[in-house]
A and B are shown apart, each in its own frame.
Chain A
Amino acid sequence: MNNRLINWFKFASPATFYPLAGKMIPWFVALSVVFGAAGLYLGMFVAPTDFQQGEGYRIIFIHVPASWMSMFIYLVMAFWAALGLAFNTRLSGMMATALAPTGALMAFLSLWTGALWGKPMWGTWWVWDARLTSELILLFLYIGFIALQSAIDDPRRADKAGAVLALVGVVNIPIIYFSVKWWNTLHQGASVSLTKSPSMAATMLWAMLLVALCFWMYSIAVALGRARNIMLERERHTEWVRQLLAGKES
């Protein structure tokens, strides 16, 4: 049995991070609920009807936050990945792995809500417009990252390989953001007029920001939860996991 016992103690971080993350999760969940409730209240009940798009524009309150989060999470993921490559800390790889599925879901939500918005506004579910397309590419990048990591069984190698891919893929984020300029595009057609009436703009902006904060807190909470799972799985032979499990039992 001793054979299987590995002394990971020199990398103290997961052992200390695990309970810390456990304590933080409820707080982020709570924040997320509060921000979400406030944002939805503002967005669904306070914000007035858009005079061009009618009530359909209310999709914006999830579409835009989801789009932002999908890009932002990728950047965070790449940041952790770089950290892991540079300093060989195992925690960073776990964080990157934990973030990817949430990022992919956000990208999917952006596409989904965008499509549901596009049907009434543009008359079609999908156009091959620059921004939509680049969002699709972002989804592919996430999926590529996940597929690569799941194709590798050795976690250390999976972390490193994923990190290289994530860093290479970062180039695409600015491309997504600025892609609108390279094509005459349908998407940017600002049918939501943020400048029409200042009061309306303010409520809408606030609602959007609040929902974005809600998504942000949600992502942190889920990613932390997933990171805890990964930690348990990878460190199952360490002393701290044993003690933890023993403690749970008694």
Chain B
Amino acid sequence: MHWNSASEFFAMGGYAFYVWGSFGVTALIMAVEPIIVARRRKNLLSRLKRQITAENLAQRSEES
């Protein structure tokens, strides 16, 4: 561990913008991508459920 203080760590020897810009965007992307996938999954599930209930209703009304 060769950092003396947190501020030194965040300053990155004057390269803060570049280093944190890289790590930040990477972190952002790796956070957002799973969220997008998960959101799509949620939407999909609710849509499919709706479709199936609708079809079941239609079927029931056909039978009666």
Given contacts A45-B3, A225-B37, contact A116 B21 (CB under 8 A): yes
A150–B29 CA distance with the chains assembled, in angstroms: 22
Q: Are A113 and B45 in contact (CB under 8 A)?
A: no
Given contacts A109-B25, A119-B18, contact A222 B12 (CB under 8 A): no
Q: Which of B2, B9, B17, B22 contacts A113 (CB 8 A)?
A: B22
State how many residues of chain A have any CB contact under 8 Å with chain B.
42
User: What residue in chain B is nearest A120 (Cβ atoms)?
Assistant: B18
**How many A-B pairs fall under 8 Å by CB?**
92
A124–B18 CA distance with the chains assembled, in angstroms: 12
State how many residues of chain B have any CB contact under 8 Å with chain A.
34
Q: Are B34 and A56 in contact (CB under 8 A)?
A: no
Q: Are A245 and B26 in contact (CB under 8 A)?
A: no
Q: How far is the CB of A187 from chain B (nearest CB, A)?
A: 16
Task: Check B59 for interface membership: any CB of A closer than 8 A.
Answer: yes
A66–B29 CA distance with the chains assembled, in angstroms: 12
Task: Check A236 for interface membership: any CB of B closer than 8 A.
Answer: yes
Can you list 10 A-B contacts (CB < 8 A)?
A56-B15, A59-B19, A59-B22, A66-B26, A116-B17, A116-B18, A222-B33, A232-B44, A232-B48, A236-B51
- B: residues with CB less than 8 A from A are 1-3, 9, 12-15, 17-19, 21-23, 25-26, 29-30, 33-34, 37-38, 40-41, 44-45, 48-49, 51-52, 55, 58-59, 62
